[in-house]
Structure 1
Amino acid sequence: MWFFGDEEVSDGMYYVGYPLMFLGMYLLVVMVVIKLIWGTTRYCRSPTRLFGKTAIVTGGNAGIGKETALELAFRGARVILACRNLNKAKQAAQEIKEKTGNYNVDYQYLDLSDLTSVRKFAEHINGSEPRLDLLINNAGIAYEPENGLTLTSQRFELVFGTNYVGHFLLTYLLMDLLKISSPSRIINVSSFMHKLHRSALDFDPGPNKEGMRYPNLVAYRCSKLANVMHARELAKRLAGTGVTANSLHPGVINSEIWVPFKSRWTCLVFFVWKFILRHLCLDNRGGAQTSIFLAVDKGVMSVSGKYFSRSVESSENKMARDDVACQRLWNASLDMCGLSQ
């Protein structure tokens, strides 16, 4: 028997109670650590206003793209939501107008998995917009959808083609407009997951037996590494033009990007992960902060070719610091998009 104050406690309760208490303390510590690592960010406090400026946000109809567009509209910018789902884009544009009182918010169709769509969108922007101050390459997918589609219209792996190839061509086609609008900024939304890609990018053009072009450039980590390398190469090529290019990790976010994983994980694993996302990670507003910081903060006006996390410069995958590899990616990307060297 054990005594705590005036209470008598059995040996069985002692041997059960203490392990449970220590387990609870351990889980609490783990949750605090996860919250500190994944669930915190620096909120952008810059007072910069954007009257007379124009911004394009790909994937601006949901998630961190929508929150980024909302903040830019609140600061007075003309904001164009470049989206594949026009119904959601229309709803998002209306919501942003009502919340900000800024009615200079538009939406246009853009399917980044189809380079024909990218060309049509860029042609429309170049023909209708007198300036472009901010290009935020935000849209992305983490996994192939459940409809079985695995290739883009031009037969690149769907995730790599959507997250990287489409944004490469979009940026390339809008570069002249960005230059004449300088100082202007290009912002590539990447992910800390790019650091987990360990092998050098393989530029074998393929196709493989399924007809996939560049069959060794696949999946989320690879696409996000390419986003970082793209920004670094852009910084070199745009030096002296007044156009900067940077990339960023937005944080671990409770967003729609995780929905496809529900069918691929067990119910328990997905339930635990959703609990972590909901209670310990960032919401969409928090995840948008580094994008907003790079878009508006005057302190990074002349910073280019860098990778940011929590609104501060961070270390990227060492392969993203390899200038030869970045140039090879650029040359391969021109081939992917049917552009001349």
Structure 2
Amino acid sequence: MKAKIVIITGANSGIGKAATLKFATEGYHVIMACRNLQISRPVQQEIILAANNVNVDLMELDISSFESIRLFCAAFKAKYSRLDILIHNAAYLNHGEKQYKLSPEHIELSFATNTFGPFLMTNLVTDHLQKSQDPRTLNACTTNIKNFFDPKRKIDFDNLRGELQNKQRHSVYKMYGDSKMALLILTFKLADKLKSKGIKINALQINRVKLSKETISKLSPFWKVLATAQNLTNPPPAGMADNYFYICTSDEFRDVTGQLINHKREIVAPSKSERGVEQLKNIFGSGSYPKYAIDIENSEKLWGLSTELTSNFY
């Protein structure tokens, strides 16, 4: 069989870059799906040389833009006969950002990038994933979803298209956490929908890792200092990239789908209780996720909204 084909979004820095190097070094054919080609081309050449693998391609993709996703998927399908592994690594979190921002399709930027973009892209390449002997999709989640152990925490479904942007204070951190919880909910839903097609879909809970110089350079002065200080103790992204590779290639996870996996490569379970001592175990441990993620009402509402917002781009 020819080298397996892998798409990694946000592949030019951080965990995405480390994962691209890992897959390329192991002989996979990797497509770097990146927004800024000028920045990404030197990274592509660096990885080709380091991995001794010329099969590292670069294609333009702005995961926050539905039109960009549609064009990317069309170009990918025209060039490649199948897709074996899809990794949704790209994410939007602009530390210290206070302004509410909208995507080209007028959707709050965190949700467009972290939730609805991956949803649309996964659906658009489903037919190519089906052509693989072992199709796997991995969504990058976050420990920020632990905020939903707070029973008062809810996704702001009524403020995803700018409805309240001038009426309430914007928090990029809340939107980031909400959008990643939404991605986890859709991971479970998509896994169930695509199980009959043989496509496995899981999420990986990302712990802190060292931020890249490119990421730090985009921050405000205060956050640059804080991020630089945190980098002294945060582990390098290569460890999490190894988790990407293992989950997407190992026999251990070959038949696993619809699961959240932690940094120890353990399957995370929904919390049994969110009170007292058990709640402390939830918050400080890594073995459970909030029951909010498996609430049927949340799931159906999010699925309906995702379908509605992306319906014109298939």
CA contact (8 A) 1:250 1:288 kept: no
CA contact (8 A) 1:165 1:333 kept: yes
Any residues of structure 2 matched to 1:51-70 within 5 Å, and which? 52-70=3-21
TM score, norm. by length of structure 2: 0.82
Q: Secondary structure at the match of 2:197?
A: coil
Residue 311 of structure 2 aligns with which residue?
A: 338
Q: Which amino acid aligns with 2:231?
A: L
Residue 116 of structure 1 aligns with which residue?
A: 67
CA contact (8 A) 1:178 1:184 kept: yes
CA contact (8 A) 1:247 1:307 kept: yes
Q: Is 1:312–2:266 an aligned residue pair?
A: yes
Q: How many angstroms apart in 1 are the aligned matches of 2:17 and 2:110? A: 21
Q: Is 1:163–2:136 an aligned residue pair?
A: no
Any residues of structure 2 matched to 1:37-48 within 5 Å, and which? none
What's the % identity of the aligned pairs? 29
2:89 to 131, 135, 138: 138
Residue 248 of structure 2 aligns with which residue?
A: 295
Q: How many angstroms apart in 2 are the aligned matches of 1:219 and 1:200? A: 11
Residue 105 of structure 1 aligns with which residue?
A: 56
Q: Secondary structure at the match of 2:7?
A: strand
Residue 274 of structure 2 aligns with which residue?
A: none
Q: Secondary structure at the match of 2:82?
A: coil
- Shift of the 277–245 alpha-carbon distance from structure 1 to 2, 3 Å rule, reads same
Residue 26 of structure 1 aligns with which residue?
A: none
Q: How many angstroms apart in 2 are the aligned matches of 1:149 and 1:236? A: 33
Residue 239 of structure 2 aligns with which residue?
A: 286
Equivalences, count = 285
Any residues of structure 2 matched to 1:173-184 within 5 Å, and which? 173-184=124-135
- Shift of the 172–337 alpha-carbon distance from structure 1 to 2, 3 Å rule, reads same
CA contact (8 A) 2:185 2:299 kept: yes
RMSD of Structure 2 on Structure 1 (CA): 2.8
Q: Is 1:83–2:37 an aligned residue pair?
A: no
Q: How many angstroms apart in 1 are the aligned matches of 2:69 and 2:40? A: 17
Deviation at 1:246, TM superposition (A): 0.4
- Shift of the 147–127 alpha-carbon distance from structure 1 to 2, 3 Å rule, reads farther
Q: Computing the radius of gyration over CA atoms, which structure comes out larger, 1 or 2?
A: 1
Q: How many angstroms apart in 2 are the aligned matches of 1:294 and 1:317? A: 22
2:295 to 310, 314, 322: 322
Deviates more, 1:296-305 or 1:199-208: 199-208
Deviations 1:165-218 (A, max 9, x none): 111111111111111224210100010101214433343476526599xx9997
Q: How many angstroms apart in 2 are the aligned matches of 1:303 and 1:253? A: 25
2:102 to 108, 130, 151: 151
Q: Which amino acid aligns with 1:69?
A: T
CA contact (8 A) 2:191 2:258 kept: yes
Q: How many angstroms apart in 2 are the aligned matches of 1:123 and 1:305? A: 27
- Shift of the 216–258 alpha-carbon distance from structure 1 to 2, 3 Å rule, reads closer
Structure 1 residues without counterparts, runs of 5 or longer: 1-49
Deviation at 1:110, TM superposition (A): 0.4
Deviation at 1:250, TM superposition (A): 2.4
